[in-house]
Structures are given as C-alpha cells and as structure tokens.
Structure 1
Amino acid sequence: MPPATLDPVASAAIITRAREGRTPRPLDFPAGLRPRDAAEAYAVQDAVVRARGEIAGWKVGAASPQAQPARAALARDSVWVAAAGEAVALSAAGFAVMGVEAELVYELGADLPARATPYSAAEVLAAVVSVRAAIEVCDTRFAAWAQQGEWSRLADQACHGALIVGAGVTDVAAVQPLAQAVTLSVNGAVAVQHATWGNPAGDPLRLLVWLANEGARSLGGLRAGHWVTTGSCTGTVLVAPGAEVVADFPGLGQAVLHLP
C-alpha cells in the first residue's frame, strides 16, 4: 500500500503554532506529518512562509561546490536591513536558539520570474545591484536544536531565525567572493576568521543561478528587492543573550547585531 500523501499545510501549522507560542514546541513533526524527501520538505516550507506573509528574501547554500543546493524563502518579519553604519538590535527572548553566521547577501534590482528558458549566470548577475555583509541568526521551532532529520529541518525554513543585512558595495562586478576574507566576532573577541572564502559551497553565483532557475519556482521566482543570502562563511557559533555580533568582510562591509 503506497504511503499517504503528506498534507503540507497541516505540517506547517505544527511549527507555525509553536513559533507563535500557541502550542508547546514539538521534538519533531508527528510521524504522519513528517516530510520524507526534499519535495515534501519544500512543500511544507512554502506553506510556512505563505502563512508568515510577504517574501523579503531567500537563503541558499550547499555542502560542497558539487552538492545539490537547498533553499528557504524568508518572510518580511525576519529580515532586517540596517541603516548606514548602524547596528540592528533584536531581543534575545525572540529566539529559542541563537546560532550566528557571517554571510554575503545579494540584493536583486530586477525580477527573475520562473520561465521555461534557464537564466544564464550573466543574466542573474546583471540583476544584482549590491553585495552586502550579513549575519544570519539560526533558530528552530522545535524543542531541541539539530535533533531532527534533514527534511524536518529543511521544512522549518532551514533553521532560519533572522537575517541582518549590513553595509556593502554596489560595484557587483568587483566582488571576488572566493578571495574574500571574513571575521566573525562575538563581544569583541574573534570567534572565526578566514583569510579567504570560508563557504563550503564555493562560488555563490552557482547558488544564485540554481535559485533563479529551480529553487524559487514554487513561490513565483525572484523579485526586485529580494535579499539572497548565500550560506555561512564561518560555520554556526552559538551565542548567549546580551551578545554583540560583528560580521566583517574587509573591503566590502560589516553587519552588526545586538541581542539584548
């Protein structure tokens, strides 16, 4: 007998209610509502973000330069763009877990809607109007961190908590990510530092092209004004309430986050 078809809306409601504090956080989805593959995980994830509201951006990453990328759509209520030279302050009470990562974010200035003909790398890059330093806060709607299977974590917006977009550059062609240094500091002390690109996915342009051609299709494609963060350059560093986090990409920009 074939397995029952997953109801992604019912699955999404489990973690939506937990995020809103209406029900206790589960350890995982109930067995009958647990995604069994990437397609089911994305269907749940899409239902989660539709319930949250307008899409403001995306996260995309891969385990290696050859690995299949994965993505999550980010709702407006979890994306924060800092004013020039300023920090973003987010209450630590709003997170169950605070894992911080230094990332590069690409700002889109043109729509890249789903279409039959794949976008070329040149077309995708031409739609980018700035590259910024960013901090992603990783979080979970489950009762314990990283205790679920990969499809449950992917369904939970790939463990997204918040995206803080900092300073950057508009000369997109001049950005050389594979040669880009990065430092992630917590409370004034260096937590992680790389002299060159620390992102295991390799060239982020591959991720952007995959997102435009495949990853964003189910939600209508990429739009002008979306922010696309292309994965951690530092790994995930768990921090405590009260932390000040700085992601510094020398020659490009900084993002600063306070977690009172």
Structure 2
Amino acid sequence: MTDFDPNPAADFLLEARRTGARPADLPEACRPRTEAQARAVQDAVARRLGPVVAWKVGAPGPAATPNRAPLHAGTVSEADTLPASRFAVIGAEAEIAYRLGRDLPPEGGPYDRETVLAAVAALHPVIEIADTRFSAFGAADPLSQRADQQNHGALVIGPALAEWRGLDPQTQPVRLRIDGRVVHDGVGGNVAGDPVRLLVWLANEGAASLGGLKAGQVVTTGSCIGTIFVDPGARIEAEMPGLGEVAVTVTA
C-alpha cells in the first residue's frame, strides 16, 4: 500500500453519498489497485461515518480469501420499513449474522475457531439490501465496489437466537418471499461455504485496522440466496426454520 492515500477516494465516496450523484467509477487517480488499498478506503470512510456497529464479510468460494466492510448505525436497524428513496437499486439478500457478546481486540489474538465462537452471544436472521453509489450495480471496477462498502445499502436485523449452537449454517433451510410469493426455497447456499471461517478471519485480520471486533457488533456472513432485485414497494420476508424470520417493506 506504499504511497497510496485513501482519503481522496473516501472524499469522493462521501460526496456521492451526500449529493446522490452516481459516478461511473472512482476517479483513476484515486482508484484502489489492491485489496489492502480498497480496505484502507473503507476505513477512511468508516472513521468519518461514526462508530462501526456491524460488519459484512464474505468470500467468492470456500477457499478464497475473505473480504469485509464496516457498517454504521445509519444503515443498520431492526426496522420493518425502509424508504425506497434511500436506494439506487434494491437487491434483497437473506443472510445469517453473529452478534458478539465480548470484545476480540487485535492484541488478544490470534484467535482460534472455538475462542471466536465462545465470544458469540446470538445468531440472527438478517436481510441485507444491496445497493451502489455508482451509476449501475456491478458496473464499477471491483475494487471500487469493495471500497464502497462492497455494495452495501442497508442491514435489517431479525430476532436474536441465544441457543444457537445446534444450528449448522451450511445446512440451514432458507426461504425468501417477495410480496408473499416464494422466490427462493433451499438449503445453505452461501458460496463462501462455512461462515465461521469468515468470522475467524474477520476477528484475526479483517477488523484489526479498526480496533477488532467489539461486543454488540453484528457480523453478517454473506447471502444464502444470491441477490434478488425488487421494485420499490416490495415486501421482503426471509424465513430460516430453527433460526427465525425477518421482514422489511421498502416503501415506494
């Protein structure tokens, strides 16, 4: 990351948020060229948006290096409704999230799987709304998308399940309804495979630059259904038998 200053890209993304402008991509002069540079832009944005209350973490395959994005109170809630005016696009994703019950600071690591799981207080069903600050979803350079919270729009958190140890996320049934119609009904479906691997990576590496994982933070671990784009006014309902249900209406 030698000689890379993340602040011009952070300035650009924050201005796009403020004005609602939809640039095609980050300017060439400040575009990240590596995952580390994209993460540095995320961190620069995060430090100006306020305390991190949640994280998203994912990977394109079971053996791939994970990626992450810090999330903030302005886009994380238990809301039953969200205004469609907040989003350029509305991409519905059903996910499984872990809520931390205690801190996992960088200086306390490295953490093994059981230590990280022992810090988990609850599991939640969640809906992430995928969105973009760019002119079209998925059109910008992949590292520019990563820098911009990896296409995050909002995270809606369902009820907590404290007795979660018997659940296997990789065999968890997941059903998604849009306006009452089932559009997905399957088992597992996270392309990253085991989400606990992602959680351990986040605790040991991904969250270190922002002080590590902290009690109360929620970590969502990637879509179990892909991304299903919906229209303003849609009612999105995710059902995960044994874990719980979560729903949100994106009001027109």
Aligned residue for 1:43? 40
Q: How far does residue 4 in structure 1 lie from its aligned partner after superposition?
A: 8.5
1:52-74 C-alpha deviation (Å, 9 max, x unpaired): 11110100011111111000000
1:202 maps to 2:200 = no
Aligned residue for 2:16? 18
SS state at 2:22 partner: coil
1:175 maps to 2:167 = yes
Aligned pairs (5 A) from 1:180-191: 180-191=172-183
Identity of aligned residues (%): 48
The residue type equivalent to 1:47 in the other structure is: A
1:152-179 C-alpha deviation (Å, 9 max, x unpaired): 1100000011000002411121121122
SS state at 1:44 partner: helix
1:202-247 C-alpha deviation (Å, 9 max, x unpaired): 1111010000000001100000000000000000011111000001
SS state at 2:231 partner: coil
Q: Among residues 230, 248, 253, which one is paired with 2:239 in the alignment?
A: 248
Q: 1:15·1:142 contact (CA, 8 Å) conserved in 2?
A: no
Aligned residue for 1:81? 78
Distance 1:166 1:93 in 2: 22
Aligned residue for 1:68? 65
Distance 2:136 2:3 in 1: 27
Compared with structure 1, are the counterparts of its residues 4 and 222 closer, same or farther at alpha carbon in structure 2 (3 Å cutoff)? Answer: closer
The residue type equivalent to 2:61 in the other structure is: S
Aligned pairs (5 A) from 1:1-260: 5-21=3-19, 24-81=21-78, 88-115=80-107, 117-194=109-186, 196-260=187-251
Task: Normalising by structure 2, report the TM-score.
Answer: 0.96
- Which structure 1 residue ranges, 4+ long, deviate > 6 Å from structure 2? none
Structure 1 unmatched runs, 5+: 83-87
Q: Once structures 1 and 2 are overlaid, which stretch shifts more, 178-187 or 225-234?
A: 178-187
Q: How far does residue 116 in structure 1 lie from its aligned partner after superposition?
A: 6.2
Q: 1:58·1:228 contact (CA, 8 Å) conserved in 2?
A: yes
Distance 1:158 1:35 in 2: 13
Task: Normalising by structure 1, report the TM-score.
Answer: 0.93
Compared with structure 1, are the counterparts of its residues 116 and 80 closer, same or farther at alpha carbon in structure 2 (3 Å cutoff)? Answer: closer
Aligned residue for 1:85? none
Q: How far does residue 25 in structure 1 lie from its aligned partner after superposition?
A: 2.0
Q: How far does residue 48 in structure 1 lie from its aligned partner after superposition?
A: 1.2
Superposed CA RMSD = 1.4
SS state at 1:209 partner: helix
The residue type equivalent to 2:94 in the other structure is: A
Q: How many residues align?
A: 251
Structure 2 unmatched runs, 5+: none
